[in-house]
């Protein structure tokens, strides 16, 4: 592991960049002011997620030069992530119409899938399924949903950072234990980039991630999961299990709001994690609970899909059922007034 120095370098770079971005945001009055739809009460600088983007993307040429990662994968991850970060950055500093944002999201997803060679065959309930072009179309929607749900779920201090770190390090452990060490570099360096930012974002947050950072994390995690599927469809199931907290909360909330006929693109505070943070009166217990669920529930199940060769689709169902129950218990997607502490 000659290039081990990349690990602390990315972490330290992200830490320093976040500090610099915080000073810039304070000097330029780039502040998130609390309103009726906010989950925070103190004006806080935003846009710190750019540090994650830069620290991670600057490491990609080194990985390519060292031939640690295939060039097409680097182009897929770097190109899609950079485009989403640019769109998010522009939206953080102004406003981009929803239709143009969505077009950019699909362009990024299509770019990534093109360089990855489309969506691979998938083993589901013991059957091998090759969806061809339909699979690539579904995968594009999956990537767009991933980046948007990550934006939706970045609503309290540290939660998006903790989810990304747990997911990436969980995937690294699976890769290491199953002899797929060549896949470790990208999620490991992404985890380090997020960890450097988390120092400033841990409750109580000194800076927020912003759309540039959350959207970048969402699509990058999605692309890494599809890259993993090319090595083994069981790895895709493992990634979906590791991402379960965010996928379940965001999807349940979206479906319940759609059924009520609400405008789902409008800001709201009706995710389960948001109700939970108001119930407990602070962000820290919820962020730590997400880490605990990932560590003690989702990671062991994800490991089972590879180490015990249990069908990933069945394990996914087992993993998600308690998460759905938990999200319903905390009124995910419910009317905000239904929570007496809302």
C-alpha closest to that of 249 among 165, 317, 325: 325
Q: Is residue 220 part of a domain?
A: yes
Q: Which two tokens stand for residue 194?
A: 């997020």
Q: Is the peptide bond preceding residue 256 cis, with omega within 30 degrees of 0?
A: no
Domain count for the chain, please give it: 1
**Residue 37 confidence (pLDDT):** 65
Q: Is residue 243 part of a domain?
A: yes
**Residue 339 confidence (pLDDT):** 45
Q: Is residue 312 part of a domain?
A: yes
Helices vs. strands in the chain: H and E counts, helices first: 14, 4
Average pLDDT across each block of 10 residues of the chain; the chain has 342 residues. List them in order. 89 98 91 73 89 98 95 97 95 82 96 95 86 92 96 94 98 96 96 98 94 96 96 95 98 93 79 94 96 98 94 96 97 72 43
CA 215 to chain CA centroid, Å, is 8
Q: Following CA atoms 9, 14, 20, 23 in sequence, which dihedral angle do they give, to the nearest 10 degrees?
A: -150
Cα–Cα distance, 262 to 7 (Å, whole number): 44
Beta bridge partners of 31: 45
Q: Following CA atoms 246, 174, 52, 91 in sequence, which dihedral angle do they give, to the nearest 10 degrees?
A: -30
Cα–Cα distance, 195 to 162 (Å, whole number): 8
CA 206 to chain CA centroid, Å, is 20
Q: Is residue 187 part of a domain?
A: yes
Judge contact between 150 and 134, C-beta under 8 A: no
Judge contact between 88 and 215, C-beta under 8 A: yes
Cα–Cα distance, 13 to 18 (Å, whole number): 8
Q: Is residue 235 part of a domain?
A: yes
Beta bridge partners of 129: 122
Domain range enclosing 238: 6-30+42-338
Within 10 angstroms of residue 269's Cβ, the number of other Cβ atoms is: 17
**Residue 38 confidence (pLDDT):** 66
Cα–Cα distance, 15 to 272 (Å, whole number): 30
Q: Is residue 62 part of a domain?
A: yes
Rounded alpha-carbon distances, angstroms, from residue 115 to 78, 252, 278: 11, 32, 43
Q: Is residue 36 part of a domain?
A: no
Q: Is residue 314 part of a domain?
A: yes
């Amino acid at each position: 592991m000659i290039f081990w120095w990349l690990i602390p370098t990315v972490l330290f770079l992200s830490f320093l960049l976040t500090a610099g971005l915080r000073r810039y945001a304070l000097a330029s009055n780039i502040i998130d002011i609390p309103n009726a739809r906010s989950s925070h009460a103190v004006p806080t600088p935003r846009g710190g997620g750019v540090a994650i983007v830069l620290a991670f993307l600057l490491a990609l040429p080194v990985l390519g030069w060292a031939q640690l990662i295939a060039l097409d994968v680097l182009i897929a991850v770097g190109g899609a992530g950079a485009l989403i970060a640019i769109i998010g950055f522009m939206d953080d500093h102004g406003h981009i119409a929803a239709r143009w944002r969505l077009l950019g999201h699909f362009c990024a997803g299509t770019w990534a899938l093109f360089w990855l060679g489309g969506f691979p065959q998938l083993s589901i309930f013991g059957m091998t399924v090759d969806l061809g072009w339909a699979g690539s179309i579904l995968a594009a929607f999956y990537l767009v949903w991933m980046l948007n749900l990550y934006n939706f779920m970045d609503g309290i201090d540290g939660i998006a950072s903790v989810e990304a770190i747990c997911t990436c390090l969980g995937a690294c452990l699976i890769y290491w234990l199953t002899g797929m060490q060549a896949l470790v570099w990208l999620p490991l360096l992404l985890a380090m980039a997020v960890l450097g930012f988390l120092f400033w974002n841990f409750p109580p947050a000194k800076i927020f991630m912003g759309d540039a950072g959350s959207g970048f994390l969402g699509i990058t995690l999605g692309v890494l999961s599809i890259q993993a599927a090319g090595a083994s469809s069981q790895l895709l199931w493992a990634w979906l299990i590791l991402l379960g907290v965010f996928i379940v909360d965001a999807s349940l909330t979206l479906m319940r709001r759609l059924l009520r006929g609400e405008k789902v693109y409008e800001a709201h505070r009706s995710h389960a994690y948001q109700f939970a943070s108001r119930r407990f009166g602070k962000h820290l217990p919820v962020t730590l609970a997400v880490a605990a669920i990932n560590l003690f529930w989702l990671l062991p199940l994800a490991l089972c899909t590879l180490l015990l060769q249990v069908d990933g689709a069945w394990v996914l169902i087992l993993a998600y059922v308690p998460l759905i129950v938990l999200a319903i218990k905390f009124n995910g997607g419910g009317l905000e007034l239904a929570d007496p502490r809302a």
